[in-house]
């Protein structure tokens, strides 16, 4: 706790030295069209990591251009101002006006928040976006964060991820016992129930932890990002499918006081820019993952492995228990769970006659 407080104090002093500021809002009825705002955005990602790391920079550039320079956002990567997992607190306490990360990193504070990143065996990116923006999900997310003085906005999605990198084969459920794996969110709880030890590490620590044997396995995202981090050099087997994250929504969080200080047009610009980044990241992963996987297999000899059916069945069974446990903590957790599951059931039923049906005829199910 002392280290966390010290890091936030130091970050605040650094920001003051950099001259980061937000102008005080004008009086009611005054013309605010010439007001300018200079914000700081801190992220959980290493600077310049493809897609997830570059998304905040793209967001800042879009906002600057769309606002004609009236809202300028300076981006800091993980550890440059605050540690990766201190982003939530830094924004909530006003050390920075904005943050970019993933809701499941804050499970220690808000257990149900993990649903807003991903649910094991849950919705795809397209379905999740439908729930958030047209199914009431975003309103529940905002209600969940309101007591912390934060406004959340969806700002990126990785699409369906891979199962992860393992330095031992997973041939049966018994191989999960004693496994040390880096995996955050609800998926981490599933591994715990299966007898593994799950740990949550920021992206900048994953490679070294695998290389030194601190962990036996890790899931990160998928071929595009995993290749950039060099995980093919420290992981022997690359498992699929990514049951733990069938999609992963990333978030932009805004300090509520900073949000309230903006005039309506800048609020709309920020909403529009995050919505654009949300889709842009999914487009980028969709375009780059296939080529990155081909590079891994053809040039680096990566061994692809499918999780055995009995292992997937065990994961699925544990997932239901984990979800029910998260939902039963309080009223809002139950309402979020109920909303998500209701939308998932409807989306799954429709998918039988749309995407799933089309995929089945485009590529035979037994084609591995």
Distance CA 347, CA 354 (A): 10
When divided into structural domains, the chain yields a total of: 1
Assigned domain for 24 exists: no
State the pLDDT at residue 26: 52
- The per-residue pLDDT string of the chain (368 residues; one tens digit each, 9 = 90 and over) reads 444 544 544 454 444 444 445 444 455 556 777 899 999 999 999 988 999 999 999 999 999 999 999 999 999 999 999 999 999 999 999 999 999 999 999 999 999 999 999 999 999 999 999 999 999 999 999 999 999 999 999 999 999 999 999 999 999 999 999 999 999 999 999 999 999 999 999 999 999 999 999 999 999 999 999 999 999 999 999 999 999 999 999 999 999 999 999 999 999 999 999 999 999 999 999 999 999 999 999 999 999 999 999 999 999 999 999 999 999 899 999 999 999 999 999 999 999 999 999 999 997 666 55
Is the CB of residue 116 less than 8 Å from the CB of residue 245?
no
Q: Is residue 331 part of a domain?
A: no
Q: What confidence score (pLDDT) does residue 346 get?
A: 98
Alpha-carbon gap, residue 295 to 131, rounded angstroms:
34
Residue 324 in any domain: the answer is no
H-helix or E-strand spanning residue 195: none
- Is 129 contained in some domain? yes
pLDDT recorded at residue 365: 61
CB 218 within 8 A of CB 182: yes
Tokens of 94: 């006003």
How far apart, in whole angstroms, are the C-alpha atoms of residue 224 and residue 162? 11
Q: Is residue 328 part of a domain?
A: no
- Please name the residue that has the structure tokens 């006003």: 94
Strand partners, 252: 100, 153
Query: Does residue 47 sit within a domain?
Result: yes
Q: Is residue 231 part of a domain?
A: no
Cα–Cα distance for residue pair 266/273, rounded to 1 Å: 10
Domain of residue 66, residue span:
37-160+247-286
In a domain, 227, yes or no: no
Strand pairing report for 197-199 and 71-76 = unpaired
The model carries a pTM of 0.89
The per-residue pLDDT for 363 is 73
| CATH at residue 91 | 3.40.190.170
| pLDDT score at 9 | 42
């Amino acid at each position: 706790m002392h280290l966390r407080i010290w890091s936030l104090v130091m970050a605040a002093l650094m920001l003051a030295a950099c001259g980061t500021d937000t102008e005080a809002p004008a009086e009611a009825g005054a013309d605010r069209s010439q007001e300018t705002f200079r914000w700081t955005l801190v992220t959980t990602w290493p600077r310049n990591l493809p897609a997830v790391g570059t998304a905040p920079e793209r967001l800042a550039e879009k906002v600057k251009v769309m606002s004609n320079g009236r809202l300028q956002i300076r981006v800091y990567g993980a550890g440059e101002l605050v540690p990766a997992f201190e982003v939530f607190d830094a924004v909530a306490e006003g050390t920075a006006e904005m943050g970019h990360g993933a809701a499941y990193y804050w499970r220690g504070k808000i257990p149900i928040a993990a649903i807003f990143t991903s649910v094991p065996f849950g919705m795809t990116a397209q379905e999740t976006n439908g729930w958030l923006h047209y199914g009431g999900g975003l309103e529940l997310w905002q209600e969940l964060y309101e007591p912390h003085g934060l406004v959340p906005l969806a700002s990126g999605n990785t699409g369906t991820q891979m199962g992860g990198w393992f330095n031992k084969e997973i041939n049966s459920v018994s191989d999960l016992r004693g496994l040390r794996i880096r995996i955050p969110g609800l998926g981490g709880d599933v591994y715990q129930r299966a007898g593994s030890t799950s740990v949550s590490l920021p992206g900048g620590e994953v490679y070294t932890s695998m290389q030194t044997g601190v962990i036996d396995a890790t899931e990160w995202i998928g071929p595009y990002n995993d290749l950039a981090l060099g995980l093919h050099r420290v992981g022997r087997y690359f498992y699929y499918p990514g049951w733990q994250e069938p999609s992963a929504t990333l978030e932009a969080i805004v300090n509520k006081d900073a949000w309230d200080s903006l005039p309506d047009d800048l609020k709309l610009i920020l909403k529009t820019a995050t919505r654009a980044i949300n889709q842009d990241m999914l487009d980028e992963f969709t375009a780059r993952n296939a080529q990155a996987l081909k590079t891994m297999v053809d040039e680096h000899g990566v061994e692809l492995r499918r999780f055995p059916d009995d292992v997937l069945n065990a994961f699925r069974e544990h997932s239901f228990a984990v979800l029910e446990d998260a939902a039963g903590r309080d009223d809002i957790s139950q309402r979020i769970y109920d909303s998500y599951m209701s939308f998932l059931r409807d989306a799954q039923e429709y998918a039988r006659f749309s995407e799933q049906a089309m995929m089945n005829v485009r590529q035979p199910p037994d084609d591995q």
